[in-house]
Structure 1
Amino acid sequence: MLRMPLFSVRRSCVLAIFPLLAACGDSPSGAPGSMAPPQFTARADPMLGQRLITQYQCGSCHAIPGVAASRGRLGPSLQAFGKRSYIAGRVPNSPDALAQWLVAPASLVPDTAMPSMGVSPEDARHMAAYLGQLE
């Protein structure tokens, strides 16, 4: 009986499984094999989000690139928000978490100074798309 060293068996298994794992990832175009980083909600419209950010007057507390009259200093600047790892320094930054934050900030960070502005879940998706693209 031919015995293969344990190291060779493990290496063979890894080499055989790797192409299968790589094929599981989908790119935004749907082509298998390319693992794209998470995107800020593809089904949302960032340009509509930009208008909604103006409508909800987010600029009264925040400085936001591309949003007219957003010179607020009470809240942090939202410049390069898409590169941030956390929302409010506590919540991992993802499209869904950001949308939830915009709808009900205290549901994620109970002691936050960010008020609930009456943002609908649909509007929040678009606003999150705009903020997520800021780099």
Structure 2
Amino acid sequence: MRKALRGGAVVLVALLAAVSCARTPPPPPPEIRSGQPERGAALIARYGCGSCHTIPGIDRADGLVGPPLTRFGARSYIAGELVNNADNLQHWIADPQAVEPGTAMPDLGVSAIDAQDIAAYLYTLD
């Protein structure tokens, strides 16, 4: 009986260890409270982001070159490189080549304020 209990305990400990080591995605990014999502939507149209990306809520944003940005606020990573949070997203938007040299995402000369507002809009897409 003791052997059976000990064997069961070993299995239970092994299962708990495996579950606790399982990789869980990071939580969704917080909203950018200082950004203006409405302005961000207008900037997305002005910078032409929709020529490469499909972006909900933006007229003629149906590009197929880059990934669709649907449900962006629920994603764990940006460009498969960065944890999806406000600082990283603004950095990616403003200077994608610094994050991933040679990426197809062009440097559009997006200012820090514009990147903040664009990110604020993207985080509404969850």
TM-score (norm: length of structure 2): 0.75
- AA partner of residue 49 (structure 1): G
Aligned counterpart in structure 1 of residue 46 of structure 2, from 48, 55, 71: 55
Question: Which residue number corresponds to residue 89 of structure 1?
Answer: 80
Residue 111 of structure 1: CA displacement? 3.0
Identity, % of aligned positions: 47
Task: Give the root-mean-square deviation of aligned CA atoms.
Answer: 1.1
Residue 39 of structure 1: CA displacement? 2.0
Are residues 1:120 and 2:101 paired? no
5 Å matches for 1:101-116? 101-116=92-107
Question: Which residue number corresponds to residue 100 of structure 1?
Answer: 91
Residue 131 of structure 1: CA displacement? 0.4
Instruction: Spell out structure 1 runs of 4+ moving beyond 6 A.
Output: none
Residue 38 of structure 1: CA displacement? 5.1
Distance 1:109 1:84 in 2: 18
How many pairs does the alignment contain?
Answer: 99
- AA partner of residue 92 (structure 1): V
5 Å matches for 1:19-30? none
Are residues 1:65 and 2:80 paired? no
Query: Which whole-Å deviations, capped at 9, do the CAs of 1:79-116 have from their partners, x for residues lacking one?
Result: 00000000001111111110111110011112311010
- How has the CA–CA distance of structure 1 residues 59 and 38 changed in structure 2, closer, same or farther, with 3 Å as cutoff? closer
TM-score (norm: length of structure 1): 0.70
Distance 2:34 2:124 in 1: 14
Which segments of 5 or more consecutive residues in structure 1 lack a partner in the other structure?
1-36
Distance 2:61 2:32 in 1: 24
Which segments of 5 or more consecutive residues in structure 2 lack a partner in the other structure?
1-27
- AA partner of residue 47 (structure 2): Y
Distance 2:78 2:59 in 1: 23
Distance 1:92 1:110 in 2: 17
Higher relative contact order (CA 8 A, sep 6+): 2
